[in-house]
Amino acid sequence: MPDWLLYNGSRRTHDGIDRLPPPPPWRAFDGGPVLPIPSGGSGNEHQATTYRPSDDAVQQVNAALYLRRPLLVTGVPGTGKSTLAYAVAHELGLGPVLHWPITSRTTLRDGLYQYDPLTRLYAAGRDDAPREEDIGRYIRLGPLGTALLPYERPRVLLVDEIDKSDIDLPNDLLTIFEKGEYELPELSRRADPSAEVMTADGPGSRVTVTAGTVRCRAFPLVLMTSNGEREFPPAFLRRCVTVELRQPSGEAELSAIVREHLGALADQSDDLVRRFFERSTSGTLATDQLLNAVYLCRHADTDDRRALADRIMPYLTGPIDDD
């Protein structure tokens, strides 16, 4: 692999991120005080250590890291779009992946933070309520809001299925990605606009926000996945690095993936791999369907592995054959 690659797809944790050069002048951020990356793995170690990225995916991940730009990852279901985020976080030691699943009702505010005014109002009315209220107890940063904290290294943010979003969300994200910061009005309007708030890293994880504003230091590696259910505005695409993940191109490549995931359970699975490719000519199948079929056929007491595998590998799109 060329020396410029920080993420190389080796699946072994290393300190390559330390070689990341300063950002382009137009992508430099100066948030603080600087925070260390939370300890712990990526959050999905099996997927991270068995994922086999394509050369194109490796190149584009590194381009996104260098340019401090979001990475838009497209491809049919089962090509490993979401898994790529965990693989990068594991290899570069960037801590737990911050996962933001998108639906048609998701708004930008959902990703930035949540404020619970009702609980705050209830607490203020109690007889034993403290005179100096801790407003931070009622604010929790979302995955996007947490990723934009001033970490010393980039966090990995997985924006899952961005193509399912409301039509306005991609454009709303552009402003946040360009500025690298956001305001918490509930804090900024106070006489003391500082508070210790909760983050998306789980119970007990809190950080201090000053001046009612969060500004990043190391721009996060934002991986946005799309199944191609919609087109995106040109302004959005212009600010993204893009990569399309494809299904394995041959039986040997797919067999290697099965062995990575299942080890000895993958022995004598060549017939199921061949059947997967036969059926894939009539409709869309996903690699994880084959993994399920291989695992089940190794444990099920049946003489007709082919029929069982076909039931576990229904088509995602396209016609279903009759055999």
DSSP, residue by residue, 244-313: E----SSHHHHHHHHHHHHGGGGTT-HHHHHHHHHHTTSSB--HHHHHHHHHHHHHS--S-HHHHHHHHS
pLDDT (0 to 100) of residue 318: 61
Prediction pTM value: 0.89
- pLDDT, tens digit (0-9, with 9 covering 90-100), for 53-83: 999 999 999 999 999 999 999 998 889 999 9
For the record, the structure tokens of 153 come out as 């290294």
Residues in the chain predicted with pLDDT less than 50, given as ranges, are: 1, 320-323
pLDDT (0 to 100) of residue 323: 41
pLDDT (0 to 100) of residue 320: 47
pLDDT (0 to 100) of residue 101: 97
pLDDT (0 to 100) of residue 282: 84
pLDDT (0 to 100) of residue 134: 80
pLDDT (0 to 100) of residue 301: 82
pLDDT (0 to 100) of residue 117: 79
